[in-house]
Structure 1
Amino acid sequence: MKQYVIYRRVSTEEQGKSGLGLDAQNRDIKLFRANFSEEPHEVLAEFEDHLSGKHDARPELQKALDLVRKTGAELLVSKLDRLSRKVSFIATLMDDPKVKLRVASMPQADKFQLHIYAALAEQEREFISARTKAALAEAKAKGTKLGGLRPKTDARNKAIQANARARAEKVAGLVQPLRAQGATFKAIADTLNASGVPTARGGRWQPSQVKRVLERLEAAE
């Protein structure tokens, strides 16, 4: 019988207490088990860390890996960055013959594909960081005053962002698995429309809206 050890991670203690991020991970794992896992299967144990993915020393992850090595079960995570944001850490795990890894949002991906994905994701994060720093430096050089939003403006912006993330979460269970399987933004929009799922304003989905939803879900995690 197929056996899994489930691992989840959120970045802060506050996220762990509020459930922010955990609902999405639980949904992905549940979807994988229902639609992509071998049957029958069982979950041996579940572990959860409330730490940044930049830290390799995570006690619950270590417990999960110890159990995986001992039993031969597969380590099941919702997304690869829930395991780690460092490609070197992921590569080390993949080189371990006693560790079997399964990513719910990429159910058909093998170790080679996961390694490539981790490397590309790390490069993208480094580029975004460098681009942000360059933009701030350029703005400062031009005399632009950085930061300092009025309290009401800042609160309104945060409320708008929170509402957008909440709307994105409602369709995450459909759009993320489809995207993980290689579906285009247009194909996902067509699926949502065919399923009778309306947009936030009650209209029909467009590819650009699907793209924004996926970007919000990525940022929230």
Structure 2
Amino acid sequence: MTLKESGADFVALDIPNANTMTVGMMAVMAQAEAEAISERTKAAMAAAKARGQTFGNPNGAAALHAAGKGNTDAVRAIKGKADAFAADLSDTLADVHAAGHITLKAQAQELNRRGIKTARGGRWHPSSVANLRNRLEGHQSHAGPL
């Protein structure tokens, strides 16, 4: 919904006498300026590229990691904690499945009914159960029962 469609009155504090036409003209001018800036930026980037200039880091984060910087250790610790949490729930999840809760939704509902919290202390959802199962199975896609 646009401002005009909402029926709300628009008052500009810096131009209190602005009316619908004035605001419309300002919007058109702002749009034209945005398009001009975009075109100038694209032209400048194309010219720089034609001169052989490269943009960004071609190695991504690899350069940081090679220099001993970045968050490699932090990521390793976070993944280790998540793996441990998943391992602790492995038997519970197998029990939930064995009790007839086959779908991810049913498993999430059962974990919530049992008062079991997620690693961050929240409620279970089908996607969080899928993430847990994927971590336990050691891959990225869900492939059925444990």
Larger Rg belongs to: 2
Q: Which has the higher contact order (CA 8 A, sep 6+)?
A: 1
TM-score by length of 2: 0.45
> What TM-score, normalized to structure 1?
0.31
- Structure ranking higher in strand proportion: 1
